[in-house]
Every structure is written in C-alpha cells, then in structure tokens.
Chain A
Amino acid sequence: MSTSTTSDKPTSVWGSHESQPPVPDGAVSVTVKLLRFNPEVDSEPHWQSFEVPALPTDRVLNLLHYVKWYLDGTLTFRRSCAHGICGSDAMQINGINRLACKVLIKDLLAKKGKPTTITLAPIKGLPVNKDLLVDMEPFFEAFRAVKPYLITYGNEPTRERIQSAADRERFDDTTKCILCACCTSSCPVYWNDGSYFGPAAIVNAHRFIFDSRDEGAEERLDILNDAEGVWRCRTTFNCTDACPRGIEVTKAIQEVKRALLFKRV
C-alpha cells in the first residue's frame, strides 16, 4: 500500500487542530484501527491505526471525533445527532454492525488491562464513498420500493382514523426503525446479491402491512413476493442481532412470509 495518506505521522496533519486536549483522569490508551479508503488516491481500502486516550464511559463516536479533530482531519464518517436517533453512524465495530454513538468503550476494553484494539470498518454491501462513509442510495431505493407510507382508498374519515390499542400493538416493534442500515448491511444475502430488498425495507413494509388503518397491504405483499423479496431471507438472525433499536427484524420478516403463505394479515 503506497503511503500517500498519513500512516506513520498521526500528528499535525492537514485539516487537524494543532494541539491535543489534556488527557482526562482515568483514561486508557486504546488503538483505533480504521479501514480507510480515499477514492482519489487509493485503489483498495487499507487499515490505519491511531492511539487514542479514551474514558470507559466514552462512546466509539468520541474516539472518531478525537481522531478527526486532533490527529487526522481527513477521516470521513457520518454522524448527526450522536444519540442513537438519527441512524447516521452505523458502522462495523469489532466485526459487528453497531451505531458508534451507542457503543461504550468499557464494553470493548480487553480484559485484565491488556491493550485494546477497536476495529472500525464501513458497513458492508453498500459502495464506500470514503473511509467509513458509504453511499446509502441503494438502501433507500429498496426502502422506497415497498411504499412505506399510508395507502387508503375511499373517502377520508371526517375526524381521525381510529385504531385500537391491540391493533396498534400489532406493528409496534417495526415502528422503531431509524433507517441506519445496520440490519441490511449485516445480511449475508444482501452482501452477495444487491437486488435483495434487505431487512430494513421489509421491516418498513411490515409496519404498514399490519397497520389496521392502511389498505395497501396487498400491493406491498405483491412487491415482497418477488424472487428478490422476503423469500431470499435465510433467517441468519444477523439483522436481529445488529438492530440498535432492538427490533426483532427476523421475526417481522417471518410474519410477512406467513402473511404471504396463509393470506392472513
């Protein structure tokens, strides 16, 4: 790997702040190993490591900020709210998809004070634009394809569309989705076959298919009955494990499959 980036000199690089902040009490030094890729100079992604002081109460996102603000300003990643709501900072943390803003350092520290290495890579299956930043467009394309909005026919009710608590409960789990792509990019079927809708799209279809106020269930089930639809799911449960919102993703997919099999919504 030609070192056109900054592999040996982590300090005072272009775009970074010159002085580093004081290391707080109780901080431990951890190695942050990043899979970096700059499309302007690299033909292949490559690993780069940074030594970063971290508090056990820090989140992985804090380490990324430290690298970007004080060590290498060219590091590129996406984050917005930094509180697990916007779903921007999904990445592969130590080999599994998580939100960087929700993983605490204390849960990643090596046991018995051994040196800790935290490995960060972009989520799989989506084209990498730069470093940890991926192109989410294929993901959103699948999301839009399942018509994730209320579909009704006939006259609008004069007041609100009434729904019982039990009917609301039916799809409560799948309303939690924040479209971070942790699930879809953890799916082995999605990695190998870009045309599969992916777990997130099915979760959002589930949210409307099982909504008693919605009348578009048939349309969505038709879309998902496709060869690239729900039947591609191999129930590997990676998506359920990856979801930062705790959605039982595989369960939702199975419910859609059963709705198709038994024509029961």
Chain B
Amino acid sequence: MSESAGSGAKTESAPARTRRSGTVYRGDPGMWSWVAHRITGVLTFFFLFAHVLDTALVRVSPNAYNEVIETYKTPLVNLMEIGLVGAVLYHALNGIRVMLVDFWAKGPRYQRQMLWGILGVWVVVMVPGAYFMIERTAREMFGGH
C-alpha cells in the first residue's frame, strides 16, 4: 500500500505500509534452503504435469507418442534433464532434512550441518551423474572417436 499523500500535502496520518527497496534480507542459510525447496518443488511439479501429458499420448496413438519423444532428443532437453535430476535430488534430500527438523528433537540445532551435509551429497551425486548424462550428447555434438 502506498497511497499516501504526495509530498507537500498536509496530512496527519501515515500511510499504513510503505514499500521499500534495496533491503534484501540476508537470512539464515535455512531461509535460502527453503527458497530453493520451493523453486525445485515447483519445477518438479511442472515436469510431472508435462510428463503426465506426454505419457498420456500413448493412449492417443503410439506414433504420436514416439513423435513427441523424438523431439526430446536434443542437447537443450538433455540439459533440462540434468536440471530436473538436480532439482528432484535437492528436493528429496532437503525433504529428509526438513523431516528431521520437524521430528528429531535435535534437528533444529543441527539444521545447518544437515544442510551442508545434503549439499555435499548433492554435489557428490550430481558431478558423476551429470557427466554420464551429458556424455553421449557431448560426443554426438563435438564428435570424437
């Protein structure tokens, strides 16, 4: 709400709430893990939405299904697949962390350590995972033996 009187106007009451800019809250790592959890959750939801639709095409006709799946075989979709694996993996690992925060009495105290832990697992899984996922695309794009 910023329907306050313009400058110079003689009003007595202050506007109820004013917008403010330039103050991003430097929150706890837990806040950013929550933001990332939301983003990865929404991304996964949209994937599932598209996935249900393209799989349902089999019921229309197997040919239509094959044609659609054929359009997925591009480097861009390959990158998106890696992004999807990363998003799902983060969401799953952080979900375990959130459950521990919720139900383990010492969870809130060790939430940061658990966050660094799941990020470590995420990197350890994603580095070889991404390598094997992109290997074929890279070979086909840039040639090789």
Contacts and interface: CB of A to CB of B under 8 A. Distances in A.
Interface of A: 2, 4, 35, 37, 39-45, 47, 92, 94-96, 119, 121, 124, 127-130, 186, 188, 234-238, 240-241, 248, 250-251, 254, 257-258
7 contacts: A92-B25, A121-B20, A124-B20, A128-B17, A188-B31, A254-B102, A254-B107
Contacts of A2: 7
Contact of B14 (A4, A127, A238, A240): A127
Given A124-B23, A127-B16, A241-B28, A251 B4 contact: no
Contacts of B34: 188, 234-236
A166 to B, nearest CB: 16
B108 A235 contact: yes
A224 to B, nearest CB: 16
Contact of B20 (A45, A94, A240): A45
A236 B14 contact: no
Interface of B: 2, 4-8, 10-11, 13-20, 22-31, 34, 98, 101-103, 107-109, 111-112
A236 B18 CA distance: 25
| Most chain B CB neighbours (cut-off 10 Å) among A47, A94, A254 | A254
Contacts of B26: 94-96
Q: Determine the main DSSP class of B at the interface with A.
A: loop
A130 B15 CA distance: 11
Given A44-B19, A248-B108, A254-B108, A188 B102 contact: no
A248 B109 contact: yes
A121 B25 CA distance: 11
Contacts of B31: 188, 236-238
Contacts of A4: 7-8
Nearest to B32: A236
B7 A237 contact: no
Contact of B18 (A45, A234, A250, A258): A45
A42 B7 contact: yes
Given A45-B18, A236-B31, A251-B109, 15 more contacts: A39-B13, A39-B15, A43-B15, A45-B20, A92-B25, A95-B23, A96-B26, A121-B23, A128-B18, A188-B25, A188-B34, A235-B108, A237-B111, A241-B28, A254-B101
Contacts of A234: 34
A238 B30 contact: yes
B8 A41 contact: yes
A52 B17 CA distance: 30
Given A41-B7, A236-B34, A237-B30, A92 B23 contact: yes
Contacts of A188: 25, 27, 31, 34
A128 B23 CA distance: 14
Nearest to A119: B23
B27 A186 contact: yes
Contacts of B17: 127-128
Nearest to A122: B20
A113 to B, nearest CB: 23
A37 B18 contact: yes
Contacts of A37: 18
Contacts of B111: 235, 237, 250
Instruction: List 7 A-B pairs, minimum CB-CB distance, nearest first.
Output: A237-B30, A39-B14, A95-B26, A251-B108, A236-B31, A241-B28, A237-B28
